[in-house]
Amino acid sequence: MFVCWFYPVRMSRRLFATVALVASVVVYGAFAAREGMRRGVIDDLPIAPNTETAQPTTAPKTPRTDMKPSTTKHIYSRAGWEITPYPKSKVDELAIKLTPEQFRVTQNSGTEPAFCGNLLDNKKDGAYCCVVCGLPLFTSAHKFNSGTGWPSFYSPFDPAHVAERNDSSHGMERTEINCARCGAHLGHVFQDGPRPTGLRYCLNSASLQFVDQGQPWPAGGEPVKTETAYFAGGCFWGVEHTFQQAPGVISAVSGYQQGKTKDPTYKEVCTDTTGHAESVKVVFDPTVISFRQLLEGFFQMHDPTTLNRQGPDVGEQYRSAIFCTSPEQLEQAKAFVADLTARNAFKKPIVTQVEMAREFFLAEEYHQDYVEKTGRACHNVNPWPAIFGTAASGKASAH
Ligand SMILES: [Zn+2]
Q: How far is the CA of 132 from the centre of ligand 1 (A)?
A: 5
245: pLDDT strictly greater than 70: yes
Q: How far is the CA of 152 from the centre of ligand 1 (A)?
A: 18
User: Which residue of the set 235, 270, 324, 378 is catalytic?
Assistant: 235
Q: How far is the CA of 178 from the centre of ligand 1 (A)?
A: 8
What is each CA distance from 19 to 242, 263, 351, 388, in whole angstroms?
18, 37, 22, 8
Q: Are 370 and 240 in contact (CB under 8 A)?
A: yes
Q: How far is the CA of 85 from the centre of ligand 1 (A)?
A: 9
7: pLDDT strictly greater than 80: no
Q: How far is the CA of 187 from the centre of ligand 1 (A)?
A: 13
Q: Are 391 and 308 in contact (CB under 8 A)?
A: no
Q: For residue 216, what are the contacts with CB-CB under 8 A and spacing of at least 6?
A: 39, 40, 41, 42
Q: Kindly report, residue by residue over 336-375, the tens digit of the pLDDT.
A: 999 999 999 999 999 999 999 999 999 999 889 888 888 8
Region of 8 on the Ramachandran plot (φ > 0 left; ψ -120 to 50 alpha; else beta): beta
Q: What is the CATH number of domain 13-43+224-388?
A: 3.30.1060.10
Q: Is 235 one of the catalytic residues?
A: yes
List phi, psi (to 5°) of 311: 60, -130
User: Which residue of the set 129, 179, 202, 324 is catalytic?
Assistant: 202
Mean pLDDT lowest among 14-28, 259-273, 281-295: 14-28
Q: Kindly report, residue by residue over 86-122, the tens digit of the pLDDT.
A: 999 999 999 999 999 999 999 999 999 999 999 999 9
Q: What is the CATH number of domain 88-212?
A: 2.170.150.20
The Cα 94–Cα 350 span in angstroms is 52
Please state the domain extents for the chain: 13-43+224-388, 88-212
68: pLDDT strictly greater than 80: no
Give me the pLDDT at residue 130, please: 98
H/E stretch holding 90 reads helix 88-95
All residues with CB under 5 Å from ion ligand 1 = 130, 132-133, 135, 179, 181-182, 184
Give me the pLDDT at residue 78, please: 84
Give me the pLDDT at residue 316, please: 87
- Greater model confidence, 392 or 206: 206
The Cα 75–Cα 130 span in angstroms is 18
Q: Is 179 one of the catalytic residues?
A: no
- The stretch 156-162 carries a mean pLDDT of 97
Return the closest-CA partner of residue 234 out of 332, 330, 289, 305: 305
